[in-house]
């Protein structure tokens, strides 16, 4: 196989690496109760919220950074991170016109349609720039059907009863080191509530952008789908190229009541660092969905191409009887990226079902690990799980690893796990070449074919972006 | 294995029994060539002590009961054990060369005295210079280190170049009531030189229900183009603790198969390391656990592909009744050099009772790109459709159950090359689960 073509194919540069020069207001680096008070004050939060944060901070101080993941990185100095950075802006924006034009340009460059008139794709967007939600589009249309879609800060102000009830109900601050940190310092994120019986008319989307240097991004997303409702939510992320490592420790909580359905898609494209592994985002994220009600369904779909280190396990707690959890993932690592990602499916209710399809592609000198837990609790009669994790290796310097954990405490459960590792065969390329398909097209076809089962699960709007991203991420790595 | 890296804050007095046993073992060995390695192991053990469930490798198996066990080194001179005593453990029609250890001490009257062509059988206590400890498990595993430091006797089988041993060796490690509350450290070294062939069966058994701790260590060094078949049949007292360590090092173009049958014990942990160092080799590692009551069996295996073009097949099955608990952690590691590796792993569990549980971790760590590696794990119960099929053809419920259980086990048993042993294990399954043969 001509390795030059493959080399080219996997070595394209990160194209979202620009940096917007925008005036920002930041807290001094470091973390202390004072910084937390500062954040809380900046956001004009009620007293109970501050208490929650301080409680989480106390807990965080007693916790140790976890090191069980199959990743390597120098120790993080949590006191050198800036925990709050926001674009300086006029308070109380009335409309999009008042948003800093530099900011809008940034989003335009990223191809995110913030202007409503331009938003033909019909996606309601909440854009988070550094730590603060900048703008949320299509608010009115959503309000008509009773859907609440706003930034987390707004939700704390306007819907405290919902926030109080659900915040931390799926991912308590004591869950792990990073959730405690997030609960203490989170600055913004999206909040979404779909009332009973409503099928959300639009795809909801949040776009996260880290811009300022030396900052960490700690967003918090909470989605509640009440009885019989449906929502599809998409999330995208990018960051400028910098030669330092930035920390991103987000928490996402989903709650699905009886007969409700949440579809959560992510395209994670944080800056992955350069070829030598310098810089890039540490993406240490906790995502968990609770199928609280009967017949509820939560589905995670993720395309992970960015970040120098990914540590992420979107999970489902299948508590309601007949509830369904799904996880579809494509994780691509190139150069010196490291990914340890997978899912947890905890079956508690009867006849609960989960499906895991994970596709890992490693290229360059990267390490790509799947780590997943399927746990069938005692009461989960008739639970079913099917897991499939396939890895593809491009080049002989990379690694692909699989660490599934299966714990079964109920004999009526049926659990299946399959894994395979392969590479792009020379015979496959030869077959395509013979039929007039150039090598690079052939590689692209094979990669898409490999990921097909996941890509078809993506929301329409994301599918195109995902396909493009696949090609970019792998340029120059096939050999 | 990573088990060694961390230590826990243990109060030194808590494991007083270990220190006493270690001192006793040292005194019994006297001036043995083995002392250097035993002392080294003891030093390693002092650093790591008993593993806690906080260690990833011991996540599902808690050794606290062992640590608190208060065991002492088994008596040097065991009471006379007769042929009748060990008769139930002798496999019918096997006609093997017997090597018998009673409570960890070699029993000369019952062991084979015949000279076997091409094999030199040596004992540690007899002052043998055999290279015990050559595969260095004591450096990587806490229990292997403890076992090595506690060793007072051991047996080695060295098969000379080109020798083909037609009759199998059968090593019986039997514990009698005299061995109650004792710790034993049986040790077996199989060294097969180039182009040799040998079959070794090891039975770990006890005559009565007693509580004791057994820490067997097995080393298998298989030379180029050699064929080694090793079988372990473990059916000990339901109160016994059993933590074993087996390391296989395989040369070029050979074929090594290892089977582990676990029936007995209260808490059993088998650590298996297969180091595949010769290209063109074939490695088979199979296991069958049949558990009932509150038994706990943990099989932790590592298949390490170091050289290219090696094929490995690993198949572990478990049948779990009552409140038993099964653990399987199987890792396949493929080094960057090990291109054209063909590794296959599967773990299947059959749960017969609502209170039985299993934990399985089939793991792949791959650094080479031209490899075929698959692993699969399934957990289920007896198939209702299959049951219905049999019953609708006039097969009684119990009989049908027996059919299906034996059919489930057969996949592992068919690869057993020793027919009398296969039948012996089949009979053990029927006996243990009370099903038709």
**Rounded mean pLDDT, B267-293:** 95
**In this structure, what DSSP letter does residue B321 have?**
-
Average pLDDT over chain B, rounded to whole?
Answer: 90
Q: Range with the lowest mean pLDDT among A201-205, B44-48, B130-134?
A: A201-205
- Cβ contacts of A401 on chain B, cutoff 8 Å: 363-366
**In this structure, what DSSP letter does residue B164 have?**
B
Inspect the interface and report whether the beta carbons of B361 and A399 lie closer than 8 Å: no
Token pair in block for residue A438? 């150039």
**In this structure, what DSSP letter does residue A267 have?**
E
Sequence spans of domains, chain B: 2-278, 384-437
How far A161 CA sits from the closest chain B CA (Å)? 39
Say if A451 falls within a structural domain.
Answer: no
Element holding A463 (H helix, E strand): helix A460-474
pLDDT bucket at B375, cuts 50 / 70 / 90: confident
Inspect the interface and report whether the beta carbons of A415 and B359 lie closer than 8 Å: no
**In this structure, what DSSP letter does residue A110 have?**
T
Coil/strand/helix, residue A219: strand
How far, in Å, CA of B203 to CA of B100, rounded?
A: 10
Domain count, chain A: 1
How far A342 CA sits from the closest chain B CA (Å)? 13
Give which of A371, A401, A406 to mutate to test B binding, by max B Cβ within 10 Å.
A406
Which residue in B has a C-alpha nearest to residue A371's C-alpha?
B363
How far B297 CA sits from the closest chain A CA (Å)? 14
Say if A91 falls within a structural domain.
Answer: yes
Say if A99 falls within a structural domain.
Answer: yes
Coil/strand/helix, residue B208: coil
CA angle A217, A220, A226 (to 5 degrees): 160
Nearest Cα residue to B330 out of B312, B342, B352: B312
Coil/strand/helix, residue B72: strand
Q: Which residues are registered as beta bridge partners of A373?
A: A344, A405
Give which of B55, B366, B370 to mutate to test A binding, by max A Cβ within 10 Å.
B366
pTM of the model: 0.83
- A412 Cβ under 8 Å from any chain B Cβ: yes
pLDDT at residue A122 in the model: 46
Burial A248-268 (b: 16+ CB within 10 A, else e): bbbbbbbbbbbbbbbbbbbbb
How far B239 CA sits from the closest chain A CA (Å)? 23
Inspect the interface and report whether the beta carbons of A401 and B366 lie closer than 8 Å: yes
**Rounded mean pLDDT, B237-251:** 95
Give which of A64, A408, A423 to mutate to test B binding, by max B Cβ within 10 Å.
A408
Inspect the interface and report whether the beta carbons of A408 and B359 lie closer than 8 Å: yes
pLDDT of B433 > 60? The answer is yes
Q: At B84, phi and psi to the nearest 5?
A: -65, -35
Give which of B336, B376, B379, B401 to mutate to test A binding, by max A Cβ within 10 Å.
B379
Inspect the interface and report whether the beta carbons of B353 and A411 lie closer than 8 Å: yes
- Cβ contacts of A404 on chain B, cutoff 8 Å: 360-363, 377
pLDDT at residue A276 in the model: 78
pLDDT at residue B166 in the model: 93
Inspect the interface and report whether the beta carbons of B360 and A406 lie closer than 8 Å: yes
Token pair in block for residue B374? 């698959």
Nearest to A413 among B365, B371, B379 (CB): B379
Nearest to B376 among A397, A409, A417 (CB): A417
In 10 A of CB B262, how many CB atoms? 28
Say if A454 falls within a structural domain.
Answer: no
- A425 Cβ under 8 Å from any chain B Cβ: no
Cβ-contact B103, B176 below 8 angstroms? yes
Say if A442 falls within a structural domain.
Answer: no
Inspect the interface and report whether the beta carbons of B369 and A394 lie closer than 8 Å: yes
Say if A12 falls within a structural domain.
Answer: no
Tell me the ipTM for this assembly: 0.79
Higher pLDDT, A280 or B123: B123
* Domain region containing A338: 19-424
In 10 A of CB B201, how many CB atoms? 22
How far A447 CA sits from the closest chain B CA (Å)? 15
Nearest to A403 among B358, B361, B368 (CB): B361
- A393 Cβ under 8 Å from any chain B Cβ: yes
Nearest Cα residue to B428 out of B164, B150, B231: B231
- Cβ contacts of A375 on chain B, cutoff 8 Å: none
Inspect the interface and report whether the beta carbons of A411 and B362 lie closer than 8 Å: no
**In this structure, what DSSP letter does residue B346 have?**
E
pLDDT digits (tens, 9 = 90+) for B289-338: 999 999 999 999 999 999 999 999 999 999 999 999 999 999 999 998 99
Along the 479 residues of chain A, how does pLDDT read in single tens digits? 334 444 554 555 666 666 666 666 777 888 888 888 888 888 888 899 999 999 999 999 998 888 888 888 888 888 888 888 776 654 444 455 555 666 666 666 655 555 543 443 445 566 666 655 556 666 777 888 888 888 888 889 889 999 999 998 999 888 889 999 999 988 888 899 999 999 988 778 777 776 666 677 788 899 999 999 999 888 877 666 666 778 888 899 999 999 999 999 888 878 887 777 778 888 889 999 999 999 999 999 988 888 888 889 999 999 999 999 999 999 988 888 889 999 999 999 999 999 999 999 888 888 899 999 999 999 999 999 999 988 888 887 888 888 899 999 988 888 888 888 888 878 888 999 999 998 888 888 888 888 888 888 876 666 766 777 776 666 655 44
Q: Range with the lowest mean pLDDT among A77-81, B145-149, B256-260, B392-396?
A: A77-81
């Amino acid at each position: 196989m001509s390795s030059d073509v493959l080399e080219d194919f996997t070595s394209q540069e990160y194209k979202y690496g620009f940096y917007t020069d925008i005036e920002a207001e930041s807290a001094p680096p470091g973390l202390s109760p004072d910084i937390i008070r500062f954040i809380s004050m900046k956001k004009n939060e009620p007293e109970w919220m501050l208490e929650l944060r301080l409680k989480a901070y106390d807990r965080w101080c007693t916790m140790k950074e976890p090191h069980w993941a199959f990743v390597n990185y120098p120790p993080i100095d949590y006191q050198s991170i800036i925990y709050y950075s926001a674009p300086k802006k006029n308070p109380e924006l009335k409309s999009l016109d008042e948003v800093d034009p530099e900011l809008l340009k940034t989003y335009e460059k990223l191809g995110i349609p913030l202007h409503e008139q331009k938003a033909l794709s019909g996606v309601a967007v909440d854009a988070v720039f550094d730590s603060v939600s900048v703008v949320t589009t299509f608010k009115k249309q959503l309000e008509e059907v009773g859907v609440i879609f706003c930034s987390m800060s707004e939700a704390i102000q306007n819907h405290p009863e919902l926030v109080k009830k659900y915040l931390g109900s799926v991912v308590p601050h004591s869950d792990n080191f990073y959730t405690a940190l997030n609960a203490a310092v989170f600055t913004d994120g999206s909040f979404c509530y779909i009332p009973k019986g409503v099928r959300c008319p639009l795809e909801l989307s949040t776009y996260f952008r880290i811009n300022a240097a030396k900052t960490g991004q700690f967003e918090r997303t909470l989605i509640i789908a009440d009885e019989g409702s449906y929502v599809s939510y998409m999330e995208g992320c990018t960051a400028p190229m910098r030669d330092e490592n930035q920390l991103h420790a987000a928490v996402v909580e989903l709650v699905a009541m009886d007969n409700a359905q949440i579809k959560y898609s992510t395209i994670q494209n944080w800056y992955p660092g350069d070829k030598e592994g310098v810089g890039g985002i540490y993406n240490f994220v906790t995502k968990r969905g609770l199928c609280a009600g009967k017949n509820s369904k939560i589905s995670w779909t993720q395309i992970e191409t960015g970040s120098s280190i990914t540590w992420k396990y979107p999970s489902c707690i299948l508590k309601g009887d007949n509830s369904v959890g799904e996880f579809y993932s494509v994780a691509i690592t190139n150069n010196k990226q490291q990914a340890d990602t997978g899912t947890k499916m905890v079956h508690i209710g009867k006849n609960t079902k989960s499906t895991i399809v994970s596709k890992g592609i490693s290229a360059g000198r990267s390490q790509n690990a799947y780590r997943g837990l399927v746990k069938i609790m005692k009461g989960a009669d008739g639970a079913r799980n099917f897991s499939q994790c396939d890895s593809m290796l491009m080049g002989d310097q990379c690694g692909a690893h699989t660490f599934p954990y299966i714990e079964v405490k109920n004999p009526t459960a049926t659990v299946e796990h399959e894994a395979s590792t392969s590479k792009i065969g020379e015979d496959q390329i030869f077959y395509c070449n013979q039929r007039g398909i150039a090598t690079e097209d052939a590689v692209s076809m094979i990669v898409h074919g490999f990921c097909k089962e996941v890509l078809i699960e993506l929301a329409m709007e994301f599918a195109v972006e995902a396909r493009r991203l696949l090609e970019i991420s792998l340029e120059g790595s096939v050999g | 294995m990573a088990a060694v890296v961390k230590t826990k804050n243990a109060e030194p007095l808590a494991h007083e029994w270990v220190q006493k046993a270690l001192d006793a073992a040292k005194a019994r060995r006297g001036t043995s060539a083995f002392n250097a390695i035993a002392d080294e192991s003891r030093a390693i053990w002092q650093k790591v002590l008993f593993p806690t469930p906080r260690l990833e490798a011991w996540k599902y198996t808690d050794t606290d009961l062992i640590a608190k066990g208060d065991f002492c080194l088994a008596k040097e001179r065991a009471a006379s054990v007769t042929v009748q005593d060990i008769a139930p453990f002798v496999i019918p029609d096997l006609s093997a060369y017997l090597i018998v250890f009673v409570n960890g001490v070699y029993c000369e009257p019952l062991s084979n005295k015949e000279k076997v062509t091409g094999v030199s059988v040596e004992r540690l206590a007899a002052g043998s210079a055999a290279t015990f400890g050559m595969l260095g498990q004591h450096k990587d595993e806490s229990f292997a280190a403890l076992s090595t430091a506690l060793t007072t006797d051991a047996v080695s089988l060295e098969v000379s170049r080109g020798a083909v041993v037609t009759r199998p060796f059968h090593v019986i490690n039997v514990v009698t009531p005299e061995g109650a509350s004792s710790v034993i450290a049986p040790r077996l070294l199989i060294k097969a030189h180039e182009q040799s062939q040998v079959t070794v069966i090891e039975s770990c058994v006890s005559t009565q229900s007693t509580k004791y701790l057994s820490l067997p260590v097995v080393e298998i060094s298989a030379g180029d183009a050699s064929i080694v078949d090793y079988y372990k049949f473990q059916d000990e007292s339901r109160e016994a603790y059993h933590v074993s360590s087996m390391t296989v090092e395989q040369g070029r173009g050979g074929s090594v198969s290892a089977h582990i049958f676990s029936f007995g014990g209260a808490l059993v942990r088998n650590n298996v390391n297969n180091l595949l160092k010769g290209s063109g080799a074939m490695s088979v590692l199979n296991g069958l656990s049949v558990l009932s009551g509150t038994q706990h069996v943990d099989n932790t295996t590592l298949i390490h592909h170091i050289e290219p073009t090696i094929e490995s097949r690993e198949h572990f099955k478990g049948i779990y009744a009552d409140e038993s608990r099964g653990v399987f952690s199987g890792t396949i590691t493929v080094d960057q050099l090990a291109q054209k590796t063909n590794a296959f792993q599967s773990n299947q569990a059959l749960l017969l009772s609502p209170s039985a549980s299993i934990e399985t971790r089939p793991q792949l760590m791959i650094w080479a790109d031209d490899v075929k590696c698959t692993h699969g794990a399934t957990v289920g119960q007896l198939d209702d459709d299959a049951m219905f099929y049999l019953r609708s053809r006039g097969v009684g419920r119990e009989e049908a159950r027996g059919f299906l259980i034996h059919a489930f086990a057969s996949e592992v048993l068919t690869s057993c090359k020793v027919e009398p042993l296969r039948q012996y294990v089949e009979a053990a399954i029927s006996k243990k689960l009370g099903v038709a043969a």
